[in-house]
Structure 1
C-alpha cells in the first residue's frame, strides 16, 4: 500500500464512471413501448383525473365542466440502489481490469431496472388496483351506460395459459406509468479517512434512484390467459376496439401492440405476418399489430 495515492483513487473513479456509463448505454429499454414517463416532485403523485377519459362534445348552452379527481389513485415513489465495493489493494496495485466488467454490470443493472419495474407491474395487474378501484386487468370495471346506470366492462379473459396482451400506445398517456422522482445517480464513497476504509480497506461505488410503476387507462390494455389462437386474438381485438366510455362515448381504441412472452413468439409472429392460413383461407389479422416479445413476461 505504500504506493497508493489519492491520484490512484481519482484516476480509478474516472475509469469506473466511464465503465458504468458504457454498461448503462448497452441496454435498450423496452418499457417505453407500453409506459409513459411522468415526472414527480413529491413523495407520491395523485392520478384522480384518470377517472375522465377525455372526449369532445357539441357545445349547446353552457360548457360541461369535467370534474377531474373523482377517483382516489396515487403512485408512491420507492427508493432503489445498487452498490459494489472495491479493495484498496487492487487500486494500489493498479489491478483495475478485474473491476471493469463489474462496473459495466452495475451500469447495465441500473439501466434494466425500469424494465423490471414496469413489467412486474404489468404482471401484477391481475391483482393490483388501478384508478377505478378494480384490478387493472378485471372483468368488472364500472362504466356508466347511456342512461347513466353503472355496468361492468372487462379488459381480461381468464384461462390457464401464459398471458398475452394487446395495447393501444397511440395516446399521449400509455397504458402504464413510469413515475420518476430521481433519475439514476452514480456516486462514490471514497474518503480514505472514512470508517469504512479504516475498518474494511475498501471504497464503495453505487447508484440510486427514486421511482415507481403504476397504471394509466385500463381501456388501453387487454389481457388474455386463453390459448393464443386466431379466434381468441380476434375476440380480444374486437372487444378492445369496441370499448365505450361513460354515457356511450366512443373511445376509438386502436390496438397496435401485441405483447407476448417468449413461449408465444413464433405463434404471434406467424399470425401477424402470413397472408394465408394452412387451410388456404386469407389471414384477416396480418399486420394488425406490431409483435413485441418480452423476456420479462412469464411463459
Structure 2
C-alpha cells in the first residue's frame, strides 16, 4: 500500500472508530460508588460538611452550613496508553490485527476508572479522607441523640478479605469522588514528517486523559476486614444506620449495597440470598443489593 496523507487519514479514522467501539463496549462500575466532579484546575480543594446536608425547622435566624477549610486536595493526574504502527505494516497492508488492538485500547481506557476507584477503596483504611482521618477509621467524630460528640467507627479491623457495606441511594453524594479534568480522548502523531516516523518508523496513536480519584462522604461506607458473617454484617448495619447529626437527629443513612470480591462471594450469597440459614428464617434476606467486584479480591 502506498502511504499518502489520505491513506493515513483514513487509517487514523478507522483506528479511532475501533477505539470508540472498545470504550462503548464497557459499562464501568465506578459510578455506583463515586460521584463525578468536573475539575477546572490542576488541583481542587474540597471543603467538608460536618454532616450530610439536611433540612431543619426554620425557627429564628437561618443556620448557615459553611464548608469548613481542610487540607484535603485532589491533584489531577495525566494518563496515557499509546500504540505504535510500523510503517512496514502499512506498506504491506498488514493492519487487520491493529484494529483489534485499538478496540482493546478503548476497553482499557474505559476500565481505568474502575481500576482507580477499587484500588483507592482498598486503601481507605490507610488513606486520609475529608475529615483529616483515615476514610475507614474507628474514631471519626459522631454525635449521639442529645447532639453530644461521640466516637463513630466505620471500620472493623481484621485479617480477612475486605467487604464493604454502603448507602448508594443518593445521586449526588457518594463515598468516593471521580474528579475529571479531561475525559479520555484519541490523539495521534501520524505525519510522515513526525520525528517518531523518521527515527523509529512508527506512526503513533494513543489515548490520554486527566483525572483522579479521592474520597467523599465516609458516613456512607463501612469496611469490614473480619469474617463476613451474620454478626459482623448486623454490626455494620447498626453502625451505619444509627449515625446522627450535630442536633441529634438521624442522618437517614441506611445501607443499600454489599460489595465483595470473589473470595467473599460465597459468604455474601449465603448471608443475603438465602431465605433460611440453618433452618431459621434469615432476617437479612435481600436486605441489600449484592455486587461482586473482582478487584476487591
Common topology (TM > 0.5):
yes
**Structure 2 portions without partners, runs of 5+:** none
Q: Which residue of 2 aligns with 1:130?
A: 129
**1:124-164 superposed Cα distances (whole Å, 9 cap, x missing partner):** 11111111100000001123556765432100001110010
2:80 aligned with 1:81: yes
The CA distance in 2 between the partners of 1:20 and 1:33, in whole Å, is 24
Q: Report the counterpart of residue 100 of structure 1 in structure 2.
A: 99
Encode CA deviations 1:169-212: one digit per residue, 9 max, x unaligned. 11221111101000001010011111211111111000111101
Report if the CA contact (8 A) 1:9-1:91 is conserved: no
Taking the aligned partners of 2:114 and 2:186, their CA distance within structure 1 comes to 19
C-alpha distance in 2 between matches for 1:56 and 1:5: 65
Q: TM (normalized to structure 1)?
A: 0.94
**After the TM superposition, which residues 89-168 of structure 1 pair with which residues of structure 2 at under 5 Å, given as runs?**
89-144=88-143, 150-168=149-167
Tell me if 1:54 matches 2:53. Answer: yes
Question: Structure 1, residues 237-273: CA drift from partner, whole Å, max 9, x if none?
Answer: 1211111232423101110010001111122122212
1:246/1:108 CA distance change after superposition, 3 Å: same
Residues 1:257 and 1:238: Cα distance change in structure 2 (over 3 Å): same
> What is the alpha-carbon distance in structure 2 between the residues aligned to residue 297 and residue 290 of structure 1?
16
- Point out the more displaced range, 197-206 or 143-152: 143-152
CA RMSD in angstroms comes to 1.6
Q: How does 1:246-285 map to 2 (within 5 A)?
A: 246-277=246-277, 279-285=278-284
User: In the aligned structure 1, how far is the partner of 2:286 from the partner of 2:148?
Assistant: 38
How far is 1:79 from its partner? 0.9
Does the Cα contact within 8 Å between 1:51 and 1:71 map onto a contact in 2?
A: no
Is residue 30 from structure 1 mapped to residue 29 from structure 2 by the alignment?
Answer: yes
Q: Could you list the per-position Cα deviations for residues 197-229 of structure 1 after superposition, in whole angstroms to 9, with x for gaps in the alignment?
A: 111111100011110111111000001111011
SS for the counterpart of 1:48 is: coil
Unaligned stretches of 5+ residues in structure 1: none
Paired with 1:169 and 1:236, the residues of 2 have a C-alpha distance of 15
- Is residue 180 of structure 1 aligned with residue 180 of structure 2? yes
Q: What is the Cα deviation at residue 97 of structure 1?
A: 0.5
Distance in 2, Cα, partners of 1:115 & 1:133: 25
